[in-house]
A and B are shown apart, each in its own frame.
Chain A
Amino acid sequence: MKSLKSAVLSNFDQPWMPVFVLLLFFGLFVSVVWWVMRKDSKTYYDKVEQLPLQDLEEIKQVEGEQND
């Protein structure tokens, strides 16, 4: 007797699998694009993208003479 689990799993051998997964991921892709393109995210991203550029110098300037 095949267990239920293996009966279900043997169904993975189906041609619709790749198609299903393709659609699933296309859907996810569209969601991610929609997510980042939302209007109100612009100010946020404008801020975040500057993060790598504001290191040492800028912080130094904040605390002035504490640096040597």
Chain B
Amino acid sequence: MNTNANLESFSYDDKIVRMFLWATLLWGAVAMLVGLIIASQLSFWQANFGLEWLTFGRLRPLHTNAAIFAFTGNGIFAGVYHSTQRLCKTRMFSEGLSKLHFWGWNMIIVAAAITLPLGFSQAKEYAELEWPLDIGITLIWVVFAINFFMTLKQRREKHIYVALWFYISTIITVAVLHIVNSIEIPVSLMQSYPVYAGVQDALVQWWYGHNAVAFFLTTPFLGLMYYYLPKMINRPIYSYRLSIIHFWTLIFLYIWAGPHHLLYTSLPDWAQTLGMVFSLMLWAPSWGGMINGLLTMRGAWDRVRQDPALKFSVLAITFYGMSTFEGPLLSIKSVSALAHYTDWIIAHVHGGTLGWNYGLLAAMMLYLFPKLWNTTLYSVKLANAQFYTATVGMVLYIVALWAAGITQGLMWWAIDDGGQLVYPDFVETVMRIMPLYHIRVVGGTLVLISFLMMLYNLIKTAQKGTIDDSKVYQAPAMDQNAEPNAKMHRKLEGMPFVFTVWALIAILVGSVIEIAPSILSNNYIVKDSRIKPYTPLELAGRDIYVKEGCYTCHSQQIRPMADEALRYGAPSEASESIYDRPFQWGSRRIGPDLARIGKKYPDVWHLRHMMDPRSVVPKSIMPVYTWLFTNKTEYKVLTKKLKVMKSLGVPYTDHEIQKAVAIAKAQAAEITRGLADAGIDMKMQDKQIIAMIAYLQRLGTDLMKEKQE
């Protein structure tokens, strides 16, 4: 039908795809290596060599950010740039923007790899990067969005394949999530306070955090699955209809599920219930997607035996099914009661990131490298070995942490007939799971080895192949009026911009209903006049707590349960964290909860404990914090910090702001004097340890005061 006059010539930009592929391999190895280091630190606390920038609290954010944004991020971009050009029968809109995207994104990652170990952190999970990097991320994301949408606009294929829908929803949702969660006021070049505080901050953060999983680790990967799976086995997806249902239900539901990270906290009950109900509903579309993927393989199972890329696809889809079954399960309040704060959650996320994300990216790369280098895979045997090593590693990792999580959860719970805790000593519950931590290290090592096998295999594949970017293709220009009689819904499915608006509405509805009340309503938190802002020195100590990443091991949120009341004290109340910017509720108790640690021990206990935890708790696995004894507290910025806090509504008086430094120094002197018996010189008063002690001793003490009114 098309006359030759309509044909347009073009070529694909595969150079950018190859660049993203190399970056994926590089960062994947880095992310897994850092993960292995921090896993070893839980097995052997010495594994940080006493270096501040290697401690768990600072490397854990690097591990998660590298795994999510560096490894899977670059992998997504590689797949999106490759498949979008094919699905749209056009070259990427702008080579310049593509390059800017690649270099910008990867420079941000390099900056993250430097700043996180140095302790520049906002202490919000997967959003730790400080404000200048947040701005960088926003700009680069906009570059990506422009490049992608303009490519859609100049496409030569009228119909928009479902994979592109998943990419579109990813691009707009990640933008919304990142911007809303990163609204913060700078204090200095590398520090800021979020505009949200306490419960509000928790809600926004986990709305973000959960949807980072949804729209970074799930929707783009589903797009990749819907494109690469049919390609690999050369037959269409089992049910295209199901993929559409999968898409809409997924994006409508996912956005609400965040509060399942906050069950039994002081978040209002209705929000918790919403989070739980939506998480349960997510099970259906997720399994719809999994079944769709697996059924696509029907009749092609014999090929799985020969093709390692297909093996990894099956592994990935299976793990997708497992993780999306486990997720809703963990969102049930009574299950969460046991699993929250334990390693079960860590097992769960690794099922997702290793099984699903690494699995699918491995499949994609084993398929793409031979394609893009015009050759065959260097070694199928090696790829098969990689597959089995990875699978065994993952299973060891996940099963060990399931066992660790459930064991520790049950030990925390255990109350004897006399109503006393069976394991009052927290560290006892840590000792019990140590063997499982060792197994985790073995599992993690296997996964890393499998990754290095792939790295080698793909480098060799690239070496033996050749690059040919001179291929030219032709396709007819898209005729805007090709289907004048198309039905309304067909038009919608073919109109990316209208479609984008719909998808945006879908995610905004949930976001607004869930989050707006916490920001707008005066009744959201029951106020308590006993709760007072932190003193300047306590604030300085708190910022050190944030910087050191203590939240990676300690929660500050006591749930309303008998065992927690016995172990930690009364349940945390929403009012208690109204001055907490950022909130520090945490998500994992490798150490005990600290919400009511204030006044539990004398100052000198903390002094010794921070210097050498094993001097007071022999079996402790907490890192040493010797540098707090030599690094100085930054007094000068306190005035600025208080000013910023005041601008955010914290009721500091002008007098307090003006005299912030003097007030802080006086409190530090007082604490240091009290430590004289322990042989502490007055010279210690401007060291960070004193500010840290001031902060720790304040935690939870406000409610000990008489109630006024």
By the criterion CB–CB under 8 Å, are A36 and B473 in contact? Answer: no
* Residues 87-113 of chain B, each 1 if its beta carbon lies under 8 Å from chain A, else 0: 101000000000000000000000000
A interface residues (Cβ-Cβ under 8 A, vs B): 2-3, 5-6, 9-10, 12-15, 17-18, 21-22, 25, 28-29, 32-33, 35-38, 40-41, 44-45, 47-53, 55-56, 59-60, 62-63, 66-68
**Contact check: which of A36, A38, A40 meets B245 at CB < 8 Å?**
A36
By the criterion CB–CB under 8 Å, are A51 and B9 in contact? Answer: no
Q: List 20 A-B contacts (CB under 8 A).
A: A9-B516, A9-B520, A10-B521, A17-B270, A21-B256, A21-B278, A28-B248, A32-B244, A38-B489, A41-B489, A44-B159, A48-B159, A48-B161, A51-B159, A51-B161, A52-B226, A53-B234, A53-B236, A60-B473, A67-B472
- What are the 6 tightest A-B residue pairs by CB atom distance, in nearest-first order? A63-B474, A49-B236, A49-B240, A10-B523, A9-B521, A36-B241
Known A38-B489, A47-B159: A6·B248 in contact at CB below 8 Å: no
By the criterion CB–CB under 8 Å, are A32 and B523 in contact? Answer: no
Max count, chain B CB within 10 A of own CB: residue among A14, A40, A63? A63
Closest to B229 in A: A52
Closest to A16 in B: B270
Across-interface contacts of A53 in B (CB, < 8 A):
230-231, 234-236
By the criterion CB–CB under 8 Å, are A68 and B471 in contact? Answer: yes
CA separation between A5 and B521, bound complex, in Å?
8
By the criterion CB–CB under 8 Å, are B487 and A6 in contact? Answer: no
Known A9-B520, A51-B159, A59-B89: A67·B274 in contact at CB below 8 Å: no
B 205-252 contacts with A by CB, 8 A: 226-227, 230-231, 234-237, 240-241, 244-245, 248-249, 252
Across-interface contacts of B83 in A (CB, < 8 A):
52
**Closest beta carbon of chain A to B161's beta carbon, Å:** 4
Closest to B285 in A: A29
* B517 CB–A CB distance under 8 Å: yes
**Closest beta carbon of chain B to A64's beta carbon, Å:** 9
Max count, chain B CB within 10 A of own CB: residue among A6, A36, A56? A36
By the criterion CB–CB under 8 Å, are B471 and A63 in contact? Answer: no
By the criterion CB–CB under 8 Å, are A62 and B7 in contact? Answer: yes
Across-interface contacts of A17 in B (CB, < 8 A):
270, 273-274
CA separation between A44 and B226, bound complex, in Å?
17
CA separation between A68 and B523, bound complex, in Å?
70
Across-interface contacts of B523 in A (CB, < 8 A):
2, 6, 9-10, 13
* B349 CB–A CB distance under 8 Å: no
CA separation between A47 and B162, bound complex, in Å?
12
* Residues 245-279 of chain B, each 1 if its beta carbon lies under 8 Å from chain A, else 0: 10011001100100000000000111001100110
**Contact check: which of A5, A29, A45, A55 meets B241 at CB < 8 Å?**
A45
Closest to A15 in B: B270
Question: What number of A-B contacts does a CB cutoff of 8 Å give?
Answer: 127
By the criterion CB–CB under 8 Å, are A18 and B248 in contact? Answer: no
Closest to A51 in B: B161
CA separation between A21 and B259, bound complex, in Å?
15
B interface residues, tally (CB under 8 Å): 54
By the criterion CB–CB under 8 Å, are A2 and B522 in contact? Answer: yes
**Contact check: which of B240, B475, B516 meets A45 at CB < 8 Å?**
B240
Across-interface contacts of A22 in B (CB, < 8 A):
277, 281
CA separation between A67 and B248, bound complex, in Å?
40
**Contact check: which of A3, A25, A49, A68 meets B237 at CB < 8 Å?**
A49
Max count, chain A CB within 10 A of own CB: residue among B7, B240, B522, B524? B240
Across-interface contacts of A59 in B (CB, < 8 A):
89, 473-475
Known A52-B163, A53-B236, A59-B89: A13·B268 in contact at CB below 8 Å: yes
Across-interface contacts of B490 in A (CB, < 8 A):
41, 44
Across-interface contacts of B244 in A (CB, < 8 A):
32, 35-36
B 154-174 contacts with A by CB, 8 A: 157, 159, 161-163
CA separation between A1 and B618, bound complex, in Å?
57
Across-interface contacts of B153 in A (CB, < 8 A):
none
Max count, chain A CB within 10 A of own CB: residue among B83, B489, B513? B489
Across-interface contacts of B473 in A (CB, < 8 A):
56, 59-60, 63, 67
Known A9-B516, A9-B520, A63-B473: A52·B230 in contact at CB below 8 Å: yes
By the criterion CB–CB under 8 Å, are A67 and B471 in contact? Answer: yes
Closest to A66 in B: B472
Known A9-B521, A22-B277, A32-B249: A66·B241 in contact at CB below 8 Å: no
Across-interface contacts of B474 in A (CB, < 8 A):
59, 62-63, 66
**Closest beta carbon of chain A to B426's beta carbon, Å:** 35
By the criterion CB–CB under 8 Å, are B522 and A6 in contact? Answer: yes
* B188 CB–A CB distance under 8 Å: no
By the criterion CB–CB under 8 Å, are A25 and B89 in contact? Answer: no
* B708 CB–A CB distance under 8 Å: no
By the criterion CB–CB under 8 Å, are A18 and B274 in contact? Answer: yes
**Closest beta carbon of chain B to A57's beta carbon, Å:** 10
CA separation between A37 and B240, bound complex, in Å?
11
By the criterion CB–CB under 8 Å, are A48 and B521 in contact? Answer: no
* B470 CB–A CB distance under 8 Å: yes
Known A18-B270, A36-B244: A50·B249 in contact at CB below 8 Å: no
**Closest beta carbon of chain A to B507's beta carbon, Å:** 13
**Closest beta carbon of chain A to B284's beta carbon, Å:** 9
**Contact check: which of A10, A28, A52 meets B227 at CB < 8 Å?**
A52
Closest to B247 in A: A32
Across-interface contacts of A49 in B (CB, < 8 A):
230, 236-237, 240
B 512-537 contacts with A by CB, 8 A: 513, 516-517, 520-524
* B614 CB–A CB distance under 8 Å: no
By the criterion CB–CB under 8 Å, are A62 and B475 in contact? Answer: yes
Known A9-B516, A51-B161: A32·B245 in contact at CB below 8 Å: yes
